[in-house]
């Protein structure tokens, strides 16, 4: 279960000729355990920011985020790192596989970071995940040798390696064709259900919404307080 | 930690061309100054060690360095010759033990050193197989010569022709190998030792041929007058000294006028050393040198050059490090996305720092290992290289 209450976030970025700030506030927000939820809303409504806050890569200015009874808003940077490794699986729009690792090594990347568990067991788990997504023959291939759909399937396997209770996907189908979009979403939903993970996925594609248990429109849960960008 | 090391290693392995260039650059940067310093130090140690074991060298006036290098290392550049008379006269003073050296000829790439048996005692050389040379025309060869040419006792080795374009000149002499010396790790391992009289035969001062009184020499005899027989160039000379023809070998002229390249003098004490040095101090034809002093002068120059070389290499290393740092920083910028991914998955900043440090560490470690290996190999062959250089 993900519970969010009285959450506020303010961001102020600075570049050479660009200054922008972004703030949003979420009053109440809850995603039940094991459910798959699509997060929709217009650009700039704070979908990616919300995923970042839940993943712990962004820090809330105030309010609380409780993930499976853990108040992650009070975590230190190191605790957030451990939390991400143990409790959160993330799938990114651009796959973000490491080009110098083989497919199975990419799936095992969370283990290379955490070192938790026996390597042989983790390798078997990675191989099983690749078998599930039909990439068992590509274990030793490099990411550059795969199609985009295959790369995203590897990214899903990587996110699932540690059986995370929370699975976050930020527009994972943004770079895929229609057939691959359906496949990847089916895979995410299926893996989340199999693992009893809470899936929260950002998407702009309305054709995919029927695959989720619920749909949350950011406009109903969050209010962007200020969006300012000036050159 | 081990995961970061693994990722670092995989990154380098995947980009092996880039890594290879980095490693090669750093290897050279570490190897060149280290090898230069080691080579110079080892060479200096080896040079001075042999020089210090040789108290004094008597030779003709001229280049002291040529005289020392020829006597110690049988360097091909021969100094002006002295007469055997000098050796005889020096011996008569009783101020030291004197050992004649006649190092001018070669046999199959190895210097032929004409000397006396005292030389082997003086250098502490022992026969490993066979026996010490005893007869005219016999030789004893160094361990490296035996290994390089695959020769042993009973085999023979031929001296290089000295007068290729003179059909009536001195022909190569076939030397019988009486024994092979134990390896000493010095220039002696690369030499062929003969009795000094054999070296004079190689030079053509002595020879063997059929008795001119015999009928078969008739065609070569030009005249017989007052007991003096004059023969022409068709007279066949023996190219090998055997038990059968050794009695036919003889020298023309006085042995005192025969040449030597130098004489090693081994005085028993400082007093005799001083007396000997004084004796030859003002001699216009001869010089008595202390090999250690001569080589110290040479080494002073070598060390000065070495310092300039190392200074140049240091500047080059600084430039290399600057370029490598720049390449590395640019590489890190290009990899910001990768590091961001690691942080988003759950890596700490410390983990990313270890990853980057491990890559730098691997590059430097591999470079250091390679540089150390190259330095060891260079050091291993340094003496051989030096030896080759000195005998050239």
Q: What is the pLDDT of residues B171-213, one digit of tens each?
A: 788 899 999 999 998 889 999 999 999 999 888 887 777 666 6
For residue A82, which residues of chain B lie inside 8 Å, CB to CB?
346
Length of chain A counted residue by residue:
231
What band does B361 get if pLDDT is binned at 50, 70 and 90? very high
- Which contiguous run of DSSP H or E holds residue A11? strand A2-14
For residue B345, which residues of chain A lie inside 8 Å, CB to CB?
84-85, 90, 109-110, 113, 158
* Chain B interface residues (partner A, CB cutoff 8 A): 1-4, 6-7, 10-11, 13-15, 337-338, 341-349, 351
What would the pLDDT profile of A24-34 be if each residue is shown by its tens digit? 667 677 777 77
Percent of chain B with pLDDT over 70: 91
| The pLDDT value given to residue A231 | 43
| The pLDDT value given to residue B240 | 78
| The pLDDT value given to residue B328 | 86
Cβ neighbours for B91, distance < 8 A, ≥ 6 positions apart: B98
The single residue listed with the structure tokens 């200096």 is B44
Selected residue of A51, A77, A94, A98 to mutate for chain B interface (largest B Cβ count, 10 A): A98
pLDDT at A227 over 50: no
Is residue B287 within 8 A of residue B86, CB to CB? The reply is no
Report the range of poorest mean pLDDT among A59-73, A105-119, A207-221, B199-213: B199-213
Sorted by where each begins, the domain ranges of chain B are 2-46+299-390, 56-205+253-289
- Using alpha carbons, list the distances in angstroms from residue B132 to A57, A127, A147: 86, 75, 80
β-strand pairing of B110-115 with B97-107:
antiparallel
Across the strands, what pairs with A90? A168
What band does A218 get if pLDDT is binned at 50, 70 and 90? confident
pLDDT at A229 over 60: no
Cβ neighbours for B201, distance < 8 A, ≥ 6 positions apart: B136, B137, B173, B207, B241, B249
- A vs B, Cβ pairs < 8 A, gives 57
| The pLDDT value given to residue A16 | 44
Which of B2, B10, B344 is opposite residue A100, by nearest beta carbon?
B10
Say what the ipTM of the complex is.
Answer: 0.85
Q: Which residue of B has its CA nearest to A115?
A: B3
Which of B6, B11, B337 is opposite residue A112, by nearest beta carbon?
B6
Percent of chain A with pLDDT over 70: 88
For residue B7, which residues of chain A lie inside 8 Å, CB to CB?
98, 101, 112
Q: Which residue of A has its CA nearest to B12?
A: A100
What band does B166 get if pLDDT is binned at 50, 70 and 90? low
What band does B262 get if pLDDT is binned at 50, 70 and 90? very high
| The pLDDT value given to residue A18 | 43
Cβ neighbours for B306, distance < 8 A, ≥ 6 positions apart: B36, B37, B40
CA distance A196 to A87: 12
Please give the backbone phi and psi of residue B21, each rounded to the nearest 5 degrees, phi first.
Answer: -65, -45
The stretch B40-65 carries a mean pLDDT of: 88
For residue A104, which residues of chain B lie inside 8 Å, CB to CB?
none
The stretch B104-128 carries a mean pLDDT of: 93
Is residue B114 within 8 A of residue B120, CB to CB? The reply is no
pLDDT at A87 over 50: yes
| The pLDDT value given to residue A230 | 45
Q: Which residue of B has its CA nearest to A87?
A: B346
pLDDT at A94 over 60: yes
How far is the alpha carbon of B8 from chain A, nearest alpha carbon, in Å? 10
For residue B10, which residues of chain A lie inside 8 Å, CB to CB?
100-101, 105
CA distance B382 to B35: 10
How far is the alpha carbon of A90 from chain B, nearest alpha carbon, in Å? 7
The stretch A169-179 carries a mean pLDDT of: 83
| The pLDDT value given to residue B169 | 59
Is residue B132 within 8 A of residue B118, CB to CB? The reply is no
| The pLDDT value given to residue A23 | 65
User: Does the beta-carbon distance from A113 to B337 stay under 8 Å?
Assistant: no
The stretch A76-87 carries a mean pLDDT of: 88
Please give the backbone phi and psi of residue B241, each rounded to the nearest 5 degrees, phi first.
Answer: -95, 120
Residue B136 burial class via C-beta count within 10 angstroms: exposed 0-12, middle 13-18, buried 19 and up: middle
Which of A88, A100, A113 is opposite residue B347, by nearest beta carbon?
A113
| The pLDDT value given to residue B217 | 60
- DSSP states of B73-97: H--SSPPPPEEHHHHHHHHHHTSSE
| The pLDDT value given to residue B272 | 92
The stretch A143-147 carries a mean pLDDT of: 92
How far is the alpha carbon of B300 from chain A, nearest alpha carbon, in Å? 53
Q: Which residue of B has its CA nearest to A77?
A: B348
More confident residue, B366 or A176: B366
pLDDT at A171 over 50: yes
For residue B6, which residues of chain A lie inside 8 Å, CB to CB?
112
Cβ neighbours for A170, distance < 8 A, ≥ 6 positions apart: A47, A48, A51, A90, A91, A92, A93, A201, A202
What would the pLDDT profile of B132-145 be if each residue is shown by its tens digit? 998 888 999 999 99
- Which contiguous run of DSSP H or E holds residue A57? none
For residue A88, which residues of chain B lie inside 8 Å, CB to CB?
346
Cβ count near B297 (within 10 Å): 12
Report the range of poorest mean pLDDT among B5-9, B218-222, B254-258: B218-222
Is residue A60 within 8 A of residue A8, CB to CB? The reply is yes
Please give the backbone phi and psi of residue A226, each rounded to the nearest 5 degrees, phi first.
Answer: -160, 130
| The pLDDT value given to residue B68 | 93
Is residue B139 within 8 A of residue B176, CB to CB? The reply is yes
- Using alpha carbons, list the distances in angstroms from residue A138 to A1, A161, A172, A180: 35, 17, 21, 18
**Helix, strand, coil distribution of chain A in percent, nearest 5:** 40, 30, 30
pLDDT at A19 over 60: no
CA atoms within 13 A on the CB side of B209: 22
| The pLDDT value given to residue B252 | 81
Report the range of poorest mean pLDDT among A126-135, B4-13, B37-46, B93-102: B37-46
The stretch B349-368 carries a mean pLDDT of: 93
Cβ count near B324 (within 10 Å): 17
Helices (H) and strands (E) in chain A, counts: 8, 10
The stretch A154-158 carries a mean pLDDT of: 91
For residue A99, which residues of chain B lie inside 8 Å, CB to CB?
14
What would the pLDDT profile of B64-110 be if each residue is shown by its tens digit? 999 999 999 987 778 899 999 999 999 999 999 999 999 988 999 89
| The pLDDT value given to residue B177 | 95
Is residue B158 within 8 A of residue B170, CB to CB? The reply is no
Q: Which of B109, B168, B140, B163 is nearest to B392 (CA)?
A: B109
Global confidence as pTM: 0.69
């Amino acid at each position: 279960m993900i519970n969010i209450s009285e959450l506020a976030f303010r961001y102020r970025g600075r570049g050479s000729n660009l200054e922008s700030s972004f703030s949003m506030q979420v009053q109440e927000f809850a995603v039940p355990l094991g459910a798959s939820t699509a997060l929709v809303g217009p650009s700039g409504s704070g979908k990616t920011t919300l995923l970042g806050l839940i993943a712990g890569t962004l820090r809330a200015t105030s309010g609380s985020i409780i993930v499976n009874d853990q108040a992650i808003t009070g975590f230190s940077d190191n605790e957030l790192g451990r939390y991400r490794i143990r409790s959160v699986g993330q799938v990114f729009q651009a796959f973000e596989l490491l080009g110098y690792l083989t497919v199975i090594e990419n799936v095992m990347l969370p283990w290379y970071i955490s070192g938790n568990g026996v390597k042989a067991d983790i390798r078997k788990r990675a191989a099983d995940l690749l078998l599930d997504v039909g990439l068992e023959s590509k274990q030793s291939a490099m990411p550059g040798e795969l199609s985009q759909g295959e790369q995203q399937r590897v990214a899903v396997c990587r996110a699932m390696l540690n059986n995370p209770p929370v699975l976050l996907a930020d527009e994972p189908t943004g770079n895929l064709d229609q057939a691959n979009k359906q496949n990847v979403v089916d895979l995410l939903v299926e893996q989340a259900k199999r693992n009893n993970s809470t899936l929260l996925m950002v998407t702009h594609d309305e054709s995919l919404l029927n695959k989720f248990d619920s749909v949350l429109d950011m406009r109903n849960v969050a209010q962007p307080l200020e969006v300012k960008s000036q050159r | 930690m081990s995961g970061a090391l693994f990722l670092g290693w995989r990154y380098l392995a995947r980009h092996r061309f880039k890594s290879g260039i980095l490693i090669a650059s750093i290897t050279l940067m570490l190897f060149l100054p280290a090898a230069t310093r080691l080579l110079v130090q080892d060479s200096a140690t080896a040079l001075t060690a042999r020089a210090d074991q040789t108290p004094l060298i008597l030779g003709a006036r001229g280049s002291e360095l040529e005289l020392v290098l020829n006597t110690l290392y049988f360097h091909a550049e021969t100094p002006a010759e002295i007469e055997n008379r000098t050796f005889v006269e020096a011996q008569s003073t009783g101020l030291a033990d004197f050992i004649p050296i006649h190092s001018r000829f070669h046999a199959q790439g190895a210097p032929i050193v004409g000397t006396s048996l005292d030389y082997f005692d003086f250098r502490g050389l022992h026969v490993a197989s066979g026996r010490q040379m005893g007869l005219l025309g016999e030789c004893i060869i160094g361990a490296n010569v035996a290994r390089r040419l695959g020769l042993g006792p009973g085999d023979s080795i031929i001296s290089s022709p000295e007068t290729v374009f003179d059909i009536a000149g001195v022909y190569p002499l076939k030397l019988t190998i009486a024994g092979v010396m134990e390896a000493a790790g010095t220039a002696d391992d690369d030499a062929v030792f003969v009795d000094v009289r054999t070296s004079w035969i190689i030079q053509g001062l002595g020879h063997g041929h059929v008795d001119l009184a015999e009928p078969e020499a008739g065609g070569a005899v030009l005249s017989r007058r007052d007991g003096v027989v004059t023969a022409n160039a068709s007279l066949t000379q023996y190219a090998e000294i055997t038990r059968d023809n050794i009695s036919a070998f003889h020298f023309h002229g006085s042995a005192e006028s025969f040449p030597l390249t130098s004489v090693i003098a081994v005085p028993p004490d400082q007093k005799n050393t001083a007396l000997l040095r004084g004796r030859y101090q003002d001699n216009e034809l001869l010089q008595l040198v202390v090999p250690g002093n001569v080589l110290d002068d040479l080494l002073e120059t070598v060390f000065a050059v070495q310092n300039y070389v190392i200074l140049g290499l240091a500047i080059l290393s600084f430039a290399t490090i600057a370029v490598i740092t720049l390449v590395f920083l640019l590489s890190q910028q290009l990899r910001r996305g990768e590091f961001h991914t690691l942080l988003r998955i759950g890596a700490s900043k410390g983990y990313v720092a270890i990853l980057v440090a491990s890559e730098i560490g691997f590059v430097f470690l591999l470079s250091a290992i390679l540089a150390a290996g190259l330095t060891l190999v260079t050091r291993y062959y340094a003496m051989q290289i030096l030896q080759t250089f000195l005998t050239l």
